């Protein structure tokens, strides 16, 4: 995967972040979500490179080959956003297009709030705002997104239970949020995901991510209620995914941005894995309309 890309391990404040970078042109940072790694972008990043972009695919702290901090508070979206900003500065790209799926999307939202000068545009994939999900939690949302509350239980309960059979737990997560089965995923990407999530430290990292979401991130988002992000924003979502079924997903983001457009793509939550060509094309159309 990522033939022709250069691999980096970049020291940031309190962590080291792994990423791959390739291509020449306006910089684009791609951020994965749970329970994946930068391998999510293996069939999307080369497409964007071919369209004339410099593409950086990073592992969030707590995931993949990046550091796994011990402290739950160090796994907040604010900390993750600061990591990725430091990565881009180290790579000579202080201003860039920002694309995030799932937890990567929440990191992108936080970065656009905390560091607007760095963000030329934002693409959020298949998420609703954290406070929207948590502050008006409906039974059907909790039943579908049960993992938010399971992973957030005190250590070491979820870590020990997941560690007994990580493939079963994480693969159940992959197919649980809309219109897919494990066989639908690219075999090489799945092998990369499995290698990452079998690491006990990565299991703890994912749990700390969700523990922080219910505490640190929720408080951070509440402090920023009413703020609107000026960067042009694209919301992509899976037409047959759980979030599209449970919410008017684009409408949940309208109060957060001054310039927003939305597009439904085939598939469920993991449409970037299952429909990479359509995903890359949608990103490219948006980036072309908002040059850096």
What does DSSP say about strands 15-22 and 54-58: parallel, antiparallel, or unpaired?
antiparallel
Phi, psi of 247 (to 5 degrees): -140, 160
Catalytic residue flag (residue 269): yes
Active site includes 102? yes
The catalytically annotated residue of 32, 38, 269, 275 is 269
Catalytic residue selected from 59, 74, 83, 102: 102
99 forms beta bridges with: 30, 123
* Residues near 66 by beta carbon (within 8 Å), at least 6 away in sequence: 15, 16, 17, 18, 58, 59, 60, 83
Tell me the catalytic residues.
102, 269
């Amino acid at each position: 995967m990522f033939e022709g890309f250069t691999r980096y391990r970049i020291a940031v404040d309190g962590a080291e972040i792994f990423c791959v970078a390739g291509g020449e042109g306006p910089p684009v940072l791609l951020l994965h979500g749970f329970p994946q790694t930068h391998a999510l972008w293996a069939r999307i990043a080369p497409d964007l490179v071919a369209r004339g972009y410099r593409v950086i695919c990073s592992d969030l702290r707590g995931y993949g080959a990046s550091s796994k901090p011990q402290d739950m508070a160090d796994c907040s979206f604010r900390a993750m956003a600061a990591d990725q900003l430091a990565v881009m500065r180290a790579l000579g790209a202080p201003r860039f297009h920002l694309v995030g799926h799932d937890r990567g999307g929440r990191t992108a939202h936080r970065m656009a709030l905390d560091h607007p000068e760095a963000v030329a545009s934002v693409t959020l994939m298949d998420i609703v705002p954290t406070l929207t999900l948590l502050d008006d939690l409906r039974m059907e949302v909790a039943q579908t997104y049960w993992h938010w509350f399971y992973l957030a239980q005190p250590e070491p309960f979820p870590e020990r239970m997941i560690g007994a059979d990580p493939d079963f737990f994480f693969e159940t997560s992959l197919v649980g949020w809309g219109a897919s089965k494990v066989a639908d995923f690219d075999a090489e990407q799945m092998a990369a995901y499995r290698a990452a999530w079998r690491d006990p430290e990565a299991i703890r990292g994912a749990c700390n991510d969700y523990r922080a979401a219910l505490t640190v991130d929720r408080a951070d988002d509440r402090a920023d209620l009413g703020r609107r992000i000026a960067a042009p924003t694209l919301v992509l979502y899976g037409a047959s995914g759980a979030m599209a079924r449970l919410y008017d997903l684009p409408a949940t983001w309208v109060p957060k941005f001054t310039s927003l457009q939305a597009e439904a793509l085939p598939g469920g939550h993991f449409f970037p894995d299952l429909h990479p060509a359509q995903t890359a094309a949608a990103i490219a159309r948006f980036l072309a309309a908002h040059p850096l």
